[in-house]
């Protein structure tokens, strides 16, 4: 293996990738997308062997667990299909759970999460010998393919080459996945041939899952995810962090002399230790699938965002969004005062809060024209309630988008009842001079939540409705009863089944809002 040494600056450690595929960004996106879609439904026994030694450390051990859990997403786990077991090794091997313990994917992933870091020396060879003597615990006695996935930095304190060779002679397929700053030459010695296809890095789970799945499809263990998908070879680099001794220069020093009570000046070499990355050029084989955005379906300058092999959506510029392909849009023609009340609690989590922000921006880009009669504001709540964007504060979509983008997640307790009390009293205030003057427009509150309220909502919602507010609730199915309690009408709630499904609810929300402006509404 050829290698190149270059100096390491600790300030840029997190910027540099330990494994890097040399391909254009569009190709990388396709590799990652394919990695998230793959699913192996073959009959196969898979044993994870996690390095739990002190050289790995607890943080990297947690990343190993995360990688193992994510890899399970690509496996059709079941008693007759893929079975998964796990061992941890340090000074001694320890069986975490055998392959016949759990029958579903979720059970396996939940058990992986509870695995505790043990610590100790790195006796990889001892763990391999354990598997040689005991076999795959709970496996099917070699009647199905056996795959061993070793997650380690490769820094073993004993001999690993002989037991690794013996495992492969028993037709066990060995994958070696690097953690932290791996010794790639050691991992190559552990992995099955061809080693380029059986060695990976756990840093990027989607990319590593793609490499794992690609190897299984090439060896006919798993079937291809789509007949249109193909395997491509790309040059890639793998890096190892090493400490090297470097001559810093010669400096004057004082040495002893044969003469009594005498010393003499001399030049002495001065060394320093530096961290360096060693680059190992290699080749990475990855599966790439056709992208629905390849046909450029978005019009009028819209940006296509793929969602799997056959789904996509268009991010449309302002003034467009009349359909999914960014046709000139039709603005909401109803005149309303509209306040979005966004859940920013710990139960919704940062991911859910960002999802609501994306939905909100997408909705407003779709329905707001330059002369829209709609006045929009945004409030957010957890334990506290605040209205960072007053109703009618922005008349232009661009300014409104910037203000929404600046909203920050807070993460307190979800107190939806308190939030409803607050917006009923303060959400639609006019300027102080005309505080008691209303503009006569319907006042609508759209609640976006993904967590159950920690305080009562019924009385607060009733009070809000008595103040003339129309309430619309948007949330997951487990919140259905609470949203009905808030709105007082099951026809005024919108339930979404997944993050992708939320974006498809924009036309429904548009219809609900405008129904409030009609006499019937």
Would 464 be classed as within a structural domain? yes
Would 406 be classed as within a structural domain? yes
Would 18 be classed as within a structural domain? no
Would 63 be classed as within a structural domain? yes
Would 390 be classed as within a structural domain? yes
Would 11 be classed as within a structural domain? no
Tokens of 56: 């790995």
Pairing verdict, β 303-306 and 312-315: antiparallel
Residues 118 and 166 reside in one and the same domain: yes
Mean pLDDT in consecutive groups of 10 residues from the start of the chain, 521 residues: 38 45 72 74 92 91 91 89 94 94 94 94 93 89 87 86 91 89 87 88 77 82 74 81 80 75 79 80 82 82 77 75 66 79 94 92 78 86 95 86 92 95 88 47 94 96 94 95 95 91 86 68 43
Name the H helices within 116-254.
124-134, 161-169, 184-190, 205-218
CA angle 170, 176, 182 (to 5 degrees): 145
Would 308 be classed as within a structural domain? yes
Q: How far apart are CA 57 and CA 52, in angstroms?
A: 7
Tokens of 144: 């199905």
* pLDDT given at position 506: 85
Q: Burial letters for 323-342: b for 16+ Cβ neighbours within 10 Å, e otherwise?
A: eebbeebebbebebbbbbbb
Residues 157 and 229 reside in one and the same domain: yes
Residues 324 and 343 reside in one and the same domain: no
Residues 246 and 220 reside in one and the same domain: no
**Domain range for 300:** 292-329
Q: How far apart are CA 337 and CA 327, in angstroms?
A: 26
Cβ proximity of 167 and 135 under 8 Å:
no
3-state SS, 463-494, equals HHHHCCEEEEEEECHHHHHHHHHHHCCHHHEE
Residues 411 and 309 reside in one and the same domain: no
Residues 214 and 118 reside in one and the same domain: yes
C-alpha distance from residue 32 to each of 36, 149, 233, 308 (Å): 6, 20, 15, 10
Q: Is the peptide bond before 407 cis (omega within 30 degrees of 0)?
A: no
Cβ proximity of 203 and 239 under 8 Å:
no
Residues 232 and 247 reside in one and the same domain: no
Q: How far apart are CA 453 and CA 137, in angstroms?
A: 45
Residues 424 and 497 reside in one and the same domain: yes
Residues 65 and 51 reside in one and the same domain: yes
**CATH code at position 191:** 3.40.50.410
* pLDDT given at position 319: 56
**CATH code at position 320:** 2.10.25.10
Residues 214 and 298 reside in one and the same domain: no
Residues 34 and 46 reside in one and the same domain: yes
C-alpha distance from residue 415 to each of 237, 269, 445, 448 (Å): 50, 68, 16, 13
Residues 422 and 501 reside in one and the same domain: yes
Would 12 be classed as within a structural domain? no
| Overall number of domains in the chain | 4
């Amino acid at each position: 293996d050829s290698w190149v040494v270059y100096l390491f600056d600790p300030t840029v450690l997190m910027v540099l990738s330990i494994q890097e595929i040399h391909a254009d960004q569009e190709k990388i996106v396709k590799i990652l997308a394919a990695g998230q879609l793959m699913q192996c439904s073959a009959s196969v026994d898979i044993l994870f062997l996690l390095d739990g030694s002190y050289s790995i450390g607890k943080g990297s051990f947690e990343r190993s667990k995360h990688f193992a859990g994510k890899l399970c997403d690509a496996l059709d786990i079941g008693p007759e299909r893929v079975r998964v077991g796990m061992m941890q090794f340090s000074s001694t091997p320890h069986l975490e759970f055998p392959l016949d313990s759990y029958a579903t994917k979720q059970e396996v992933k939940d058990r992986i999460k509870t695995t505790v870091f043990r610590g100790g020396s790195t006796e990889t060879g001892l763990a391999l010998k354990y598997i040689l003597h005991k076999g795959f615990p709970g496996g099917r006695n070699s009647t199905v393919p056996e795959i061993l996935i070793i997650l380690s930095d490769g820094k073993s304190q004993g001999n690993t080459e002989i037991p690794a060779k013996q495992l492969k002679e028993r037709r066990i397929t060995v994958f070696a996945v690097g953690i932290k700053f791996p010794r790639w030459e050691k991992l190559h010695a552990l992995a099955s041939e061809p080693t380029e296809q059986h060695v990976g890095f756990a840093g990027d789970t989607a990319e590593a899952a793609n490499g794992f799945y690609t190897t299984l499809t090439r060896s006919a263990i798993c079937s291809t995810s789509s007949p249109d998908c193909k395997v491509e070879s790309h040059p890639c680099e793998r890096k190892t962090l090493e400490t090297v001794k470097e001559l810093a220069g010669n400096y004057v020093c004082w040495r002893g002399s044969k003469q009594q009570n005498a010393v003499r000046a001399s030049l002495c070499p001065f060394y320093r230790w530096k961290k360096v990355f060693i680059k190992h050029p290699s080749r990475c084989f990855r599966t790439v699938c056709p992208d629905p955005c390849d046909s450029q379906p978005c019009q009028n300058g819209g940006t296509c965002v793929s969602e799997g092999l056959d789904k996509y959506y268009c991010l449309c510029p302002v003034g467009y969004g009349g359909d999914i392909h960014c046709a000139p849009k039709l603005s909401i023609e109803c005149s309303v005062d509209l306040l979005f009340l966004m859940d920013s609690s710990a139960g919704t989590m940062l991911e859910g809060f960002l999802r609501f922000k994306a939905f909100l921006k997408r909705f407003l880009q779709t329905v707001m024209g330059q002369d829209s009669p709609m006045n929009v504001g945004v409030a957010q709540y957890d334990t506290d309630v605040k209205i960072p964007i007053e109703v009618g504060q922005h008349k232009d979509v661009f300014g409104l988008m910037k203000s929404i983008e600046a909203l920050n997640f807070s993460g307190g307790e979800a107190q939806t009842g308190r939030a409803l009390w607050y917006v009923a009293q303060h959400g639609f205030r006019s300027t102080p001079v005309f505080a008691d003057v209303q503009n006569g427009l319907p006042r609508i509150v759209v609640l976006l939540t993904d967590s159950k309220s920690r305080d009562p909502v019924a009385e607060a919602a009733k009070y809000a409705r008595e103040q003339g507010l129309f309430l619309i609730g948007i949330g997951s199915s487990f919140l259905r009863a609470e949203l009905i309690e808030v709105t007082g009408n099951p026809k005024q709630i919108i339930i979404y089944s997944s993050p992708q499904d939320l974006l498809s609810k924009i036309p429904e929300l548009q219809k609900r809002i405008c129904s409030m402006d009609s006499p019937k509404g």
